[in-house]
Structure 1
C-alpha cells in the first residue's frame, strides 16, 4: 500500500511539473499507458489472493482515477494558458473584412448581362447609341411622327413628369 501511495505522489508531482502538453502526454503514457506503472500494478492483481486483491484493487482504482483527473485538469489548464498566450500576442484589426479572400465588390448580374449583349451586337456590327433617360414630348414622339392620339402617348404606356415652366412635357424615354 505504501508502494501505491508513493507512486501516486510521484505521478501527481510529475503532472503538476509538466510544462507543456507533450510532457504531460509522456507522463500520462508512463503512468496509465499500455506499459505504464499503474497499468503494470493492475496486471498483477490476478496473482493476488482474493481478500488482498479487493483492497489493493480499490486503492489502485482510486489512485488511477485521481491521476487521470489530475492529468485532465492539467491538460485543460495548459491548453487555456497556450490559448491565452496566443491571443495576447495577436492584434486583431477590426477594420479588416471578415472575408479576406473576397474582393470589394462585384458587377451586378443585370449590368453584366447588358455588357455581354452589347458586346455580342457590337461583334455583329451594331453600335450602342446612348442618350438621356428623360426626354421632352417633342423629341420622344412628335419628331418620330407619332400622332397625339397614338396609344403610346396614353398615361398607362408613358411615364410623364411634371410640366416645365414653358409648358412642354417631359417623359421617360421609351
Structure 2
C-alpha cells in the first residue's frame, strides 16, 4: 500500500466507463467511503438525462458545488473517500480538486462504451448521452490524473489491479 495515499480519489470518465465499479473496488481495498456523484443530481437533472439530453454547465454548477461541499465535510473528519464522477471538463475538475486529491481517468474506446451502454438497464444515463459526453470531454493530460486504459473484455479485477499499481507507483515513499 502506498505510504501517502491521497483522499479523495476521484474516478472520472464518460458514462459506461466503469467509474462506479472501480470506485467501489478502490473504496473496499483502502477501507474508504464510496460516493457516487449521480446520487447528488437533482431529480430534474436525472429526468433530463433519462430523456437523452446532456446537462449544461449551468445544470452542473450546483451539482459540483454539492460535491465539493461533501468532499470538504468528509475531509474535515479525516474520512478517506472515493468519488465516482464524470468530471468531463477541466473546469469541473478544478471545482472538485482540493488538497490531497487524486484523479483517476478511465480511458475506454468508444465502441466498448457503446456496447456496455446498449446492454445497461440500471441507469438513466444511456447510450444516447455518449455524443454529448464526448463533446464535453476534455481528457486530462498525464500528470493531471492517473490514466487507466481499459480495453475490450478487460475485467473489473484487472482494471482495479492496474489502478492500484499506478497509485502505488505515484505515491510511493
Greater C-alpha radius of gyration: 1
Which is bigger in relative contact order (C-alpha 8 A, separation at least 6)?
2
Q: TM-score, normalised by structure 1?
A: 0.20
Q: Give 1 or 2: higher helix fraction.
A: 1
Q: TM-score, normalised by structure 2?
A: 0.20
Q: Give 1 or 2: higher strand fraction.
A: 2
